[in-house]
């Protein structure tokens, strides 16, 4: 099985678009979203994505951006608004 098959869709997206990893690391809003979604089980850290799915940090970031592109007035939207226009347009194409 190829490494790409083992990666989540978000990890593959980040590999193809490393500028999102930089945006995630520079975000002032994402730590708040990450802290709210963090779940630690047996020393392993995961994040609650879409209410009932566990994922990695990249999964959470991408999902929050997609949600932020679609609605107003919450942390997800504030996270989306941190992006420059080029990155916003890339997310809008995923919605």
Tell me the pLDDT tens digit for each residue of 10-23.
Answer: 999 999 999 999 99
Residue 4 has pLDDT above 60, yes or no: no
Query: What pLDDT band is residue 7 in, cutting at 50, 70 and 90?
Result: confident
Query: Residue 50: which residues within 8 A CB-CB, separation 6 or more?
Result: 63
Domain that holds residue 23: 3-94
Sheet (strand 38-41) strand order: 38-41, 44-49, 53-55
- Specify the DSSP element, H or E, that contains 26: helix 19-26
| Percent of the chain residues topping a pLDDT of 90 | 73
- pTM, two decimals, is 0.87
- Per the structure, how many domains does the chain have? 1
Structure confidence at residue 52 (pLDDT): 83
């Amino acid at each position: 099985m190829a490494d790409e098959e083992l990666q989540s869709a978000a990890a593959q997206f980040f590999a193809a678009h490393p500028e999102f990893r930089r945006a995630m690391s520079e975000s002032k809003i994402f730590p708040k979203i990450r802290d709210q979604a963090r779940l630690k089980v047996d020393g392993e850290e995961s994040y609650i994505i879409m209410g009932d799915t566990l994922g990695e940090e990249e999964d959470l970031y991408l999902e929050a951006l997609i949600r932020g592109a679609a609605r107003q007035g919450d942390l997800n939207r504030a996270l989306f608004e941190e992006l420059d226009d080029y990155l916003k347009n890339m997310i809008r194409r995923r919605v």
